[in-house]
Structure 1
Amino acid sequence: MFEIILAAGWPIYPLILCSVVALALIIERFSSLREAKVAPPKLLDEVLTVTRSNLPSPDVVNKLAENSVLGRVLATGLRAVINEPRINEANLRNAFESAGRAAIHRMERYLNTLGTIAAAAPLLGLLGTVIGMIEIFASQGGAGSGNPTQLAHGISIALYNTAFALMIAIPALMFYRYFRGKVDEYVLDLEQAAERMVPHLLRFTVQR
């Protein structure tokens, strides 16, 4: 592997950095976007059951907020009703929407970076290819007698960088699309949960 890196020349070092960053982001997103951390399947039903007859205490709401991303959104709605018993439907929906936007921003963290790596890696590979071609042309000299060592080095730079760039870009793009799809699914879950919670919480408000 070290010999390949030496043969590929200096253009491969930015690609190695991109590969390390991409791998770290993929592992981090896999951990952060797990269902248990974002939207546990039974959490909404449990909250509806607990709040069937009365609102929970602040301590219970705080624990709910620490449970998951969905728990944080539901806790925001509960706090809005607890802090403002006369809250109307529009303001309650606004509270859920604000919490939802913050949740989406949290779920989308680092995805733009991963997408940028997927787009930039082929360009970095192209840069290595161009540098390799320059090495090839330089090896030919002015009289047509080429330098075999420099010619081989130029070919190595061109091919290794192109191949390594594609090895980074293809998985990065696939995981980027995968995580985007997961986020979209979770956003739908959050929206449906908020829609169920709004009429449920309005029962505890004091209407003017």
Structure 2
Amino acid sequence: MDFAQFYQEGGVWMHPIAVCAVLGAGVMIERFIFLFFRFNINGAQFFNQIQKLVMANNIDRAIKLCNAADKAALARVMKAGLTRANKSESDIAAAIEEAMLEVSPAITKRISMIAAVANIATLLGLLGTIFGMIDAFTAVAVAAADQRSQALAKGISIAINTTGFGLMVAIPLLSAQVFIQGLAKKIADEVDLYAVKLENLLAARVRQG
């Protein structure tokens, strides 16, 4: 059975599930591109470079390094702290905290929507199953004898195909959501860790004079 026939035999409930598939795929691709290619960076390597420049008292060059990777969340947070490197410890801490509050929502943005769309697709598939079974039992009760088997098969096709299509949409989306959520957590954890390290590094520099 080809997909076109499978889709057609699923009835009208296949259409909202298909909408969920398109919407979920769009969000999934957008989040992957944004997190993996824009916000992601090798945190340890980047911080080591910043640390060497700060210890060499070369703040301007450290800021330029952040500008070169200005799309990365960690670089944006570090730049906020570095631009206040000659201020007080409280100013440095406030600048870093403000930058973290700005990037944190951007990291987690729309990730939960992927799982929500997957769950809706599953529920629509189950709803299609219920209405398909209702059609099947109604056909048995009221259809003429020569049309009963055809009507019963049509109702069962709606029931099975909508469930199958809902799961076909939901399973890849939920799998992708797990991966994307893990990637977002990795980025957020690195931002938290190296922001604290930079704050301590700059605070020590201020105390030394």
TM-score per shorter chain, which class? Answer: 0.7 to 0.9
Q: Deviations over 1:17-71 (max 9, x none)?
A: 1112222222222222227742224211112222321321797277246141111
The letter for the 2-side match of 1:178 is F
The letter for the 2-side match of 1:118 is A
3-state SS of paired residue (2:12): coil
Match of 1:32 in 2: 34
3-state SS of paired residue (2:95): helix
Match of 1:127 in 2: 127
CA shift, 1:157, in A, is 0.6
Structure 1: runs of 5 or more not aligned: none
Q: CA separation in 2, counterparts of 1:198 and 1:143?
A: 76
CA shift, 1:95, in A, is 2.5
Correspondence list, 1:17-166, <5 A: 17-34=19-36, 37-41=39-43, 42-52=45-55, 53-56=57-60, 60=64, 63-64=67-68, 66-81=70-85, 85-89=86-90, 91-142=91-142, 145=145, 147-166=148-167
Among all aligned residue pairs of Structure 1 and Structure 2, give the percentage whose two residues are the same amino acid. 26
Match of 1:187 in 2: 188
Q: CA separation in 2, counterparts of 1:127 and 1:143?
A: 23
Correspondence list, 1:164-203, <5 A: 164-203=165-204
3-state SS of paired residue (1:66): coil
Are the equivalent residues in 2 in contact too, given 1:65–1:74 (CA < 8 A)? no
- Higher helix share goes to which structure? 2
Are the equivalent residues in 1 in contact too, given 2:118–2:169 (CA < 8 A)? yes
Question: TM-score if structure 1 supplies the norm length?
Answer: 0.84
Are the equivalent residues in 2 in contact too, given 1:121–1:165 (CA < 8 A)? yes
Q: CA separation in 1, counterparts of 2:76 and 2:35?
A: 15
Are the equivalent residues in 2 in contact too, given 1:80–1:95 (CA < 8 A)? yes
Match of 1:4 in 2: 6
The letter for the 2-side match of 1:14 is P
Pair 28,132 (structure 1): closer, same or farther in 2 beyond 3 Å: same
Are the equivalent residues in 2 in contact too, given 1:129–1:162 (CA < 8 A)? yes
Are the equivalent residues in 2 in contact too, given 1:86–1:206 (CA < 8 A)? no
CA shift, 1:203, in A, is 4.4
Are the equivalent residues in 1 in contact too, given 2:66–2:75 (CA < 8 A)? no
CA shift, 1:151, in A, is 1.5
CA shift, 1:115, in A, is 1.4
Q: CA separation in 2, counterparts of 1:182 and 1:166?
A: 24
Are the equivalent residues in 1 in contact too, given 2:114–2:173 (CA < 8 A)? yes
Q: Quote the RMSD (CA, aligned, Å).
A: 2.7
Equivalences, count: 204
Are the equivalent residues in 1 in contact too, given 2:9–2:158 (CA < 8 A)? yes
